[in-house]
């Protein structure tokens, strides 16, 4: 079976099985979107209002900025896979609770295992904490970490500010452009090390 089809089946199954209580208040599940054969997987925090109404990740203002950032390194949404740590919108866009993150964790693990990207980009502190704990986004953005995460083997994680952060703090816009510009070099380095 084609990988995109497998991913769709995985998302359907996990939605049925997921015990996350945010399911009760969300309008739509937001499993993720993009290419199952992607080299890079971006992982945000949780769906917001627009994502909840459309069932797709990063379709609001932060998503528009993310597309702009991707274009600077010649990538389109179709080239990557994008999802969130939590697959249902928390009420009033509050931070996801630890139990909501852990209830959605098996789903995210299975997505990573199936897509098997060579680089994972956690966007913002919630996603970073799940994969590379005890880091500070303000100090560690723009840094790559090689880490073994339970069930996922050893992988490379590249910490970035969440694009929404730049909508509130304009000073972070340039930081995100600069950090994004390093992605092609990081990918090239990972590919070289794999040969
Ligand atoms: N912010 C996120 O973390 N995820 C989305 O899907 C949208 C905004």
Q: At 79, which CATH number?
A: 3.40.470.10
> pTM higher than 0.95 for the full model?
yes
SS3 170: coil
Each residue of 117-140: pLDDT tens digit?
A: 999 999 999 999 999 999 999 999
SS3 123: strand
Which pLDDT band, with edges at 50, 70 and 90, does 195 fall under? Answer: confident
Tokens 């990740």 label which residue?
57
Q: How far from 127 is each of 1, 2, 13, 79, CA to CA, in Å?
A: 30, 28, 23, 21
Which pLDDT band, with edges at 50, 70 and 90, does 115 fall under? Answer: very high
Ligand 1 centre and the CA of 29: distance in Å?
13
44 lines ligand 1 (CB under 6 A): yes
83 lines ligand 1 (CB under 6 A): no
Neighbouring-strand partners of residue 160: 123
Pairing outcome for strands 153-158 and 144-149? antiparallel
48 lines ligand 1 (CB under 6 A): yes
Q: How many domains does the chain have?
A: 1
Neighbouring-strand partners of residue 83: 43
Q: Which atom of ligand 1 is nearest to the CA of 45?
A: 3
Range of the domain at 154: 3-194
Each residue of 2-17: pLDDT tens digit?
A: 999 999 999 999 999 9
Pocket mutation for ligand 1, best pick of 162, 163, 167 (most atoms within 8 Å of C-beta):
162
164 lines ligand 1 (CB under 6 A): yes
86 lines ligand 1 (CB under 6 A): no
């Amino acid at each position: 079976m084609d990988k995109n089809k497998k991913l769709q089946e995985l998302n359907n199954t996990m939605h049925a099985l997921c015990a996350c209580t945010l399911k009760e208040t969300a309008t739509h599940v937001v499993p993720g979107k993009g290419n199952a054969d992607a080299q890079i997987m971006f992982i945000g925090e949780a769906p917001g209002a627009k994502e909840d109404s459309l069932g797709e990740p990063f379709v609001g203002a932060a998503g528009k900025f993310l597309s702009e950032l991707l274009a600077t390194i010649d990538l389109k949404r179709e080239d990557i896979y994008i999802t969130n740590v939590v697959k249902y919108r928390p009420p009033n866009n509050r931070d996801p609770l630890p139990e909501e993150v852990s209830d959605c964790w098996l789903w995210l693990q299975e997505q990573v295992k199936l897509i098997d990207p060579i680089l994972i980009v956690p966007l913002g502190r919630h996603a970073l904490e799940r994969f590379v704990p005890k880091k500070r986004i303000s100090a560690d953005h723009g840094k790559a970490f090689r880490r073994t995460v339970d069930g996922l083997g050893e992988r490379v994680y590249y910490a970035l500010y969440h694009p929404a952060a730049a909508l509130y703090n304009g000073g972070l816009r340039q930081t995100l452009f600069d950090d994004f510009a390093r992605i092609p070099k990081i990918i090239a380095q990972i590919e070289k090390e794999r040969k």
